[in-house]
Amino acid sequence: MSTLKLDHVTKAFDDGSEDIIAVDDLSMTIDDGEFLVLVGPSGCGKSTTLRMLAGLETITAGEIHLGDRVINDVKPKDRDVAMVFQSYALYPHMTVRENMNFGLEESTTLSDEEIRPLVTETAEMLGIDELLDRTPDELSGGQQQRVALGRAIVRDPEVFLMDEPLSNLDAKLRSDMRTELQQLQGELGTTTVYVTHDQTEAMTMGDRIAILNDGVLQQVATPLEAYHRPANRFVAGFIGDPSMNFFEMTVQDDRLVTEQFTYPLTRKLRDAVDDVSQVTFGVRPESIELTQATAAIDHESVEFIAEVSDEHSFETIVDVVEPMGNENTIHLSFSGADDATFVATIDGERELTPGQTVVAHIPESEIHLFDGETGLAVHNRLRDESEATESTM
């Protein structure tokens, strides 16, 4: 039906002297009815990919299949795709109804009498039926955004393409619309490609997410898979907020060594890093356990020493505390090394003050190891449900 397939798609922009590769050899399949989120930093080629799917950009190499036809040279209007733009791109001189009529009038042979109930029905579904006679300049941002969605939905296309549709909304509205959009897509069952730079949107909305960097696909996976079993260092750092802590370390015997600390490895982990000498050590902020060593006297106490003597625990100093309500984000540095900072999140009820000394415990089961040169994951944290499955790349 409407499976969307990208087959070694490349886009190069001609910049006079040399070509700029915006999208490099991108292959992936988006299943019928799937909600796929394309995510990456700005300039990673995600919007270009979407525009190629829409037919607004030509394809330099490769093929795009929609269902069983190749749509490389099919004009935008004949592709049966609808797009929602970041700026909404409503027609300012037309009423909401006329905006929604436009696509049906231009792309179908439906009569006005047939179009009318379709538009009314879609508007009711989106809760904008009261606004049908207004023009866009009389609507709020959220309402305009709904009209833009309605304009796409009413055409009942094979594929929805959405280019950062929520990024012009304020935070509260954005999270509401996120949920609503997801529900809507579930009800309609239309294949959707959604572009965003916001990893929260990617995590919460997508059936699967595709992470792009520099025009190269990094990983296509379910949000949890990408979070827990990132294919490489880039994905690990991009997905998750606050992002993963990284340390560049050297493998020495059965230990990982950096200037600030040494991290012993058990046998199983040691085997994983057998082929590499430089690794990037990664640990998520919520995986770090902080034990308080509050009073100065505690420094000398037996209990404190016992904790630090655990080889995966380290003495650190609290630099900054950012209360988020439900949790606190703690910026820490190793004692005696101000430049090596990292972030941990703890329960919002616990109070820490800057300057305080705490013990950070980094459990071995929680760490990620990446090849220091290629950035590819050599070991991901152990999780019961996903331990057996290999991360798909």
Query: Which residues in this chain contact other proteins in the complex, by CB under 8 A?
Result: 54-56, 76-77, 81-83, 85-87, 89-93, 102-103, 106-108, 151, 155
Residue (81 or 251) nearer to other proteins, CB: 81
At closest approach, how far in Å is the CB of 81 from other proteins? 7
Is there a contact between 278 and 251 (Cβ–Cβ < 8 Å)? yes
Residue (119 or 235) nearer to other proteins, CB: 119
Which residues are 159's β-sheet partners?
81, 191
Q: Where are the alpha helices (DSSP H) in 68-208?
A: 96-107, 112-126, 141-153, 171-188, 199-205
CA dihedral 301, 304, 309, 315 (to 10 degrees): -120
At closest approach, how far in Å is the CB of 96 from other proteins? 14
Residue (82 or 346) nearer to other proteins, CB: 82
Residue (158 or 364) nearer to other proteins, CB: 158
Residue (151 or 331) nearer to other proteins, CB: 151
At closest approach, how far in Å is the CB of 102 from other proteins? 5
Residue (83 or 235) nearer to other proteins, CB: 83
Residue (92 or 355) nearer to other proteins, CB: 92
Which has the closest alpha carbon to 240: 310, 135, 317, 345?
A: 345
Distance CA 87, CA 145 (A): 9
Which has the closest alpha carbon to 40: 204, 241, 234, 246?
A: 234
At closest approach, how far in Å is the CB of 161 from other proteins? 8
Distance CA 339, CA 334 (A): 8
CA atoms within 13 A on the CB side of 373: 5
Which has the closest alpha carbon to 392: 244, 208, 147?
A: 208
Phi and psi at 331, nearest 5°, equal: -95, 125
Residue (108 or 266) nearer to other proteins, CB: 108
State which H helix or E strand residue 316 sits in.
strand 313-323
Which has the closest alpha carbon to 203: 189, 224, 218?
A: 224
At closest approach, how far in Å is the CB of 318 from other proteins? 47
Is there a contact between 327 and 347 (Cβ–Cβ < 8 Å)? yes
